[in-house]
Amino acid sequence: MTEDSQRNFRSVYYEKVGFRGVEEKKSLEILLKDDRLDIEKLCTFSQRFPLPSMYRALVWKVLLGILPPHHESHAQVMMYRKEQYCDVLHALKVVRFVSDATPQVEVYLRMYQLESGKLPRSPSFPLPKAFEQYLNLEDSRLLSHLKTCSALSRLPYDLWFKRCFAGCLPESSLQRVWDKVVSGSCKILVFIAVEILLTFKIKVMALNSAEKITKFLENIPQDSSDAIVSKAIDLWHKHCGTPVHSA
């Protein structure tokens, strides 16, 4: 039995006895032991598997470039990052883009925009077109209903694609989505939106106005979130393929 087939056998066994993810956690721990972290392999891992919560913050920081690949530099770099955060926040307050009353999520957005040179507003996202394309492939009748109700242009795109579903999905589900986004696959957001429509198709089809449809989609029931994310990841793999670890 080859090493790959042995690993696949163990993975299936662990999943059947209720220890799904044991092998994946071990694989991640091996990656994190490298003196110089392999960014590409961490990206691929994050796209294929949910990150264990105990390692999520570290992996996200490395993938986002907040921390360098070398372990020995992490403490010093984090000290510099904290100073940088204070400087950027002070600058935004001076130019009155934020205040002490500004919601934290907006503060983070403005900080990103300032750092990337996109104040006062970042360019609009091209994701709604992709959303329409994939929804049409999955359920053209549902898309036609949205167009008939003039709801397509009024869907909560900012909530979905600019806030990356923060405030829409509970934290446990949101983390699984952001694992993919942080590792470079923003297109997962499109499939989350598509799957939300597919999951609540009966409810949406029963609503006959753009206002009612948008209001419902802004406050979807939370008990279906984990299933929505799992099905959306399957859709993502179906249309875009499954990431494979590089050698």
Residue 245 counted as domain residue = no
Give Cα separations from 29 to 45, 55, 56, 132, 146 (angstroms).
11, 9, 12, 39, 46
Low-confidence ranges of the chain (pLDDT < 70): 1-21, 120-126, 243-247
* Domain identity same for 56 and 140: no
Residue 147 tokens read as 């167009």
Residue 6 counted as domain residue = no
Give Cα separations from 225 to 175, 190, 231 (angstroms).
12, 15, 10
Q: What is the pLDDT of residue 23?
A: 81
C-alpha 212/C-alpha 231 separation (Å) is: 25
Q: Token pair 């071990």 is at which residue?
A: 26
Q: What is the pLDDT of residue 123?
A: 42
* Domain identity same for 234 and 146: yes
Residue 83: exposure state from Cβ atoms within 10 A (0-12, 13-18, ≥19): exposed
Number of domains, the chain: 3
| CATH value at residue 178 | 1.10.472.80
Q: What is the pLDDT of residue 8?
A: 53
Residue 141: exposure state from Cβ atoms within 10 A (0-12, 13-18, ≥19): exposed
Residue 1 counted as domain residue = no
Q: What is the pLDDT of residue 1?
A: 52
Q: What is the pLDDT of residue 120?
A: 62
The beta strands (E) that lie in the chain are given as: none
216: containing domain = 127-240
Tens digits of residue pLDDT in 126-137: 688 999 999 999
Residue 2 counted as domain residue = no
Helix (H, G, I), strand (E, B) or coil at 36: strand
C-alpha 149/C-alpha 155 separation (Å) is: 11
Helix (H, G, I), strand (E, B) or coil at 238: helix
